[in-house]
Amino acid sequence: MSRIKAEYLWLDGCKPTAKLRSKTKILEGAVSRLEDIPVWGFDGSSTEQAVGHASDCLLQPVHFVPDPIRGGEHILVMCEVLTAEGMPHVSNTRARLRQEATRTAPQEPWFGIEQEYTMIKNGKPLGWPADGYPRPQGDFYCGVGSEMVSGRPLVEAHMEACLKAGLKIAGVNAEVMLGQWEFQIGPVPPLRVGDELWIARWLLLRLGEDMGIDISLAPKPVAGDWNGTGAHTNFSTRAMRDSGGLTTVDTACRALSTAHEKHIAVYGAGNEARLTGKHETCSITQFRYGVSDRGASIRIPIFTAKAGCGYLEDRRPAANMDPYQVCAMLLETACK
């Protein structure tokens, strides 16, 4: 009988931004379904999720994929955190998304998330000079050549790992600031996009370990005239995607305008440094939407406007946002 390495992944209770944790369990025999993976435990007092005299928390497997780093039959297991009594832990943001996904399932919501990130080496973005700054941004977006981009080996390794894991990765590109990159997950249903984005983030961090590169999801990694780092969230329902759906897109945008502050509250800590009204953002204190407007809170893509149906892009979420919370909020507001 084969012995399988199962890497259990979960979100800790750190505030204001939860971090990924993981540990390995050896399973006896190959895994073919979720029920083959047992519930496990961990020390919640070491992850800001329990106190020392009652430290046990549970890991409930909810999604698994092949482990592209270890290969073979080994797996990565995304988990929800439960209390010792088996109830969703207060830090378990996936539990709320489960409720919203069930409620809105007849509307067939899809999500696609554009995850930007910054590679860091020796405390500075990768490729930046030891002293001072690179030339002003402008040449780096989707750049090619050693003077235009830094970190492509990690980007390629990460993309290949996502493909081997069966994640719905849609593409990668160099971003506006040198050392800043992006990958996209989706379009897929809400729970899947959250699970796969967290797994993709874990793979990026783990591969960065091997290359000595840190990964920052800070919304504004460098102060000054440099782009921030976001996680633009593309969203649609069946009604938006069907013929004539532009009317439904407009209705959703109007609904989103009434809950701006509620959304901003879960769109990432430190987002005020990014949402300034500059560098392709709308001010954090304003809400507006428009066709092809990358300075708006919500952009309606030109393809959606021309076709009369499609999706909207919420440009407000920061790179460090929790996709479970962002997706739940969009479903709550736009799918009344």
Q: What is the DSSP string of 124-187?
A: EETT--SSS--SPSSS-TT--STTT---HHHHHHHHHHHHHTT--EEEEEE-SSTTEEEEEEEE
pLDDT of 48: 96
Of the candidates 297, 277, 280, 275, the one whose C-alpha atom is nearest the C-alpha of residue 288 is: 297
Which comes out higher in pLDDT, residue 2 or 245?
A: 245
- With 0-12 CB in 10 A as exposed, 13-18 as middle and 19+ as buried, what is 164? middle
Q: What value does the mean pLDDT of the chain take?
A: 97
pLDDT grade, residue 49 (50/70/90)? very high
The stretch 22-26 carries a mean pLDDT of 98
pLDDT of 336: 84
pLDDT grade, residue 138 (50/70/90)? confident
Of the candidates 4, 6, 5, 9, the one whose C-alpha atom is nearest the C-alpha of residue 200 is: 9
pLDDT in tens, 232-282: 999 999 999 999 999 999 999 999 999 999 999 999 999 999 999 999 999
User: Cα 122 from chain centroid?
Assistant: 25
What is the gyration radius of the CA atoms in the chain, in angstroms? 20
pLDDT grade, residue 132 (50/70/90)? confident
pLDDT of 52: 81
pLDDT of 26: 98
The stretch 312-332 carries a mean pLDDT of 98
Taking the C-alpha atoms of residue 221 and residue 228, their distance in angstroms, rounded to an integer, is 7
Question: What percent of the chain has a predicted confidence (pLDDT) above 90?
Answer: 96
Residue type, 90: V
